Structure 1
Amino acid sequence: MMRIFLFLATNLAIILVASVTLSLLGLGGIHDGQGGMNLPALLVFCAIIGFAGSFISLFMSKWLAKRGTGTRIIEKPQNRQEQWLMDTVAELAREAGIGMPEVGIFPSRASNAFATGWNRNNSLVAVSDGMLQRFSPQEVRAVMAHEIGHVANGDMVTLTLIQGVVNTFVMFFARIIGNFVDRAVFKNDSGRPGLGYFIATIFAEIILGILAMIIVMWFSRQREFRADAAAAQLTGAGGMIAALERLRAEQGIPVEMPGELKAFGINANMKNGLAGLLMSHPPLEQRIEALRRGSFR
């Protein structure tokens, strides 16, 4: 129930902000009353909604991550393992030149970890208890370095901006297509959008959204190579290769991460072919080979 409430409240807030901003800019409706569209107003409207959604998600990312994964933040280490984890993250963060992140452990038998947060000095890194149980300290340290690399590289903000741009153009072109179909196919000459407009816009958003997701996921995969490179610089390539080899050996274990956090984890169930275009992570074999060649893209 709370999840539905937050979803509706967030979308209502976006709509209100978009309406107020359009009024302040003196822009009228996106339809000109004669069957055409006010393209400047439409572009601004789409940009506001597209970027607002992305940035709201970014600013709420830590809150959502903690609740979505059941992450327990280590406020005061309760045992030697937690103390070691805190000390390791503190050392890596200092070497990477970022503020000390919050450190957490989330319940999952799968070996995984993630980083999120809206800036370099206000982030969260977390590791699954399954990874802590099965990985060696050297491998866990390399994984933490990978996540610190995401934070230091500003990957969360970069993906937010990319997502905002693609959101904007998906909405923009979907509405242009919807207006064209409404007039040309449904023969709507009323000057106002009809049923055909809304139906065509929805279908266009679905198709364009899939194409846009391919672009976003390509950037996400390149970001993984950069985070691996950061880990290699912080801990040595050997530790990162060993961690990835261990992940490859455990690929049969499902990756239990909420959909919105998969792009921020170190591990994801990779696929080949067309489905691979929609994966947030490149195949482990490619990442291992890049580290061995020293070519981190």
Structure 2
Amino acid sequence: MLRIGLFLLTNLAIMIVAGVVINLLGVGKFISHGQLNLQSLFIFCAVFGFTGSFISLFISKWMAKRSMGVELIENPRNADERWLVDTVAELAQKAGIKMPEVGVFPAEESNAFATGWNRNDALVAVSLGLLQRFERDEVRAVLAHEIGHVANGDMVTLSLIQGIVNTFVMFFARIVGFAIDKALQGGRDNESSGPGIGYYVGSFVAEIIFGILASMIVAAFSRYREYRADEAGAHLADRNAMIRALQRLQLESGQTSMPASMQAFGIAGGMGRLFASHPPLEERIQALRNGHNNPDSLRQSLS
């Protein structure tokens, strides 16, 4: 229920903010006198596309803490928590970013994630299951992987990519819907009323189709960023430990209950490789092994 409530709250915020911006820009009406104003339509779609993406980015830490039940370690209560905070601080300094917030979430699955709206205001969290079953050098490698995501600016970059694809999905879907509506009307300009049912149905179906195609683009970029974060983890911590951490994941269940947007270290879901946000573990391990003798890996990964 909490996740549903947060989802509804986020979408309400998107609708309010986008509605205000659209009214201020005066682009809410992009079909007039039977004609489609492409400029107004594109601005309309961009406002909605980027508003959703950036609101989600700006509240990502807040959402993560509540939806995942993250307990922040502000004052370490024991040696394990002190080690966790000190390790994140060391890795963050090595990567050239400010100290992220550090937290633990109650999950049996071995997983971790990083989130936050910029590289100097981030959250790094690990599951209790990972802390209990992984060796310390492996946990350190996982933390380095997450720090790599933060240092590479992956959260912001993925939000930009998502905003772009959202914009073009909405834009082309509405063009298709308008064309279908015109075809159903026999090409006549209907100046007395707004678009017909063909526009709404056509736009809806086209948006689903284009959305599926766009999700492949976002997923492909996400997989690329995972390789970079693995390489960052290998250099900030230890390459062999990074490999062992991935190998340990292979021995455990691949499914997690974590939202896809927060599965920064986990195994990809079962929707097929084109839609997977993470590469197969065996390919990630092989990539780390192949990059062992690459002296420029760290510079490229954290650039």
Instruction: Please give the per-residue CA displacement for 1:50-69, whole angstroms capped at 9, x wherever unaligned.
Output: 01111100000000111111
Q: 1:174 to 1:152 in 2, by over 3 A?
A: same
State whether residues 230 and 288 of structure 2, in contact with CA within 8 Å, keep that contact through their aligned partners in structure 1.
yes
Residues 91-102 of structure 1: pairs in structure 2 closer than 5 A: 91-102=90-101
Structure 1 residue identity aligned to 2:83: W
Match of 1:144, SS state, is: helix
Unaligned runs of 5+ in 2: none
* Structure 1 segment 139-218 matched on structure 2, within 5 A: 139-185=138-184, 187=186, 189-191=189-191, 192-218=194-220
Give a deviation string over 1:181-206, Cα, whole Å, max 9, x none. Answer: 11113557524211221111111111
Q: Name the amino acid aligned to 1:86.
A: V
**Does the 8 A contact of 1:105 with 1:126 survive in 2?**
yes
Q: What TM-score, normalized by structure 2, do the two folds share?
A: 0.90
Q: CA deviation at 1:80?
A: 1.0
1:18–1:45 contact (8 Å) kept in structure 2: no
Q: Alignment length, in residue pairs?
A: 288
1:114 aligns with 2:113: yes
Residue 258 of structure 1 deviates from its aligned partner by 1.8
Amino acid paired to 2:190: S
Contact 1:14 1:53 (8 Å CA) reproduced: no
Structure 2 contact 18–47 (Cα < 8 Å) conserved: no
Unaligned runs of 5+ in 1: none
Shift in Å, 1:224 = 0.2
In the TM superposition, residue 244 of structure 1 has moved relative to its aligned partner by 0.4
Name the residue aligned to 1:259. Answer: 260
Specify the SS of the correspondent of 2:36: coil
Q: Which residue of 2 aligns with 1:137?
A: 136
Identity among equivalent positions (%) equals 55
Among residues 12, 15, 28, which one is paired with 1:12 in the alignment?
15
Give the 5 Å matches for 1:13-28. Answer: 13-23=16-26, 27=27
Q: Partner letter of residue 292 of structure 1?
A: R
Deviating more after overlay: 12-21 vs 55-64: 12-21
Q: How many Å apart are 1:171 and its aligned residue?
A: 0.3
1:288 is matched with 285
**Residue number in structure 1 paired with 2:67:** 68
CA distance in 2, matches of 1:293, 1:4: 41
RMSD of Structure 2 on Structure 1 (CA): 1.8
CA distance in 2 between counterparts of 1:222 and 1:59 reads: 23
Q: In the alignment, is the contact (CA less than 8 A) between 1:270 and 1:283 conserved in 2?
A: no
Query: Normalising by structure 1, what TM-score?
Result: 0.92
Instruction: Answer yes or no: is the 8 Å Cα contact 1:73–1:104 preserved in 2.
Output: yes
1:5 Cα deviation from its structure 2 partner: 4.9
Per the alignment, residue 82 of structure 2 pairs with: 83
The separation in 1 between residues aligned to 2:88 and 2:189, in whole angstroms, is: 63
User: What is the alpha-carbon distance in structure 1 between the residues aligned to residue 260 and residue 235 of structure 2?
Assistant: 29
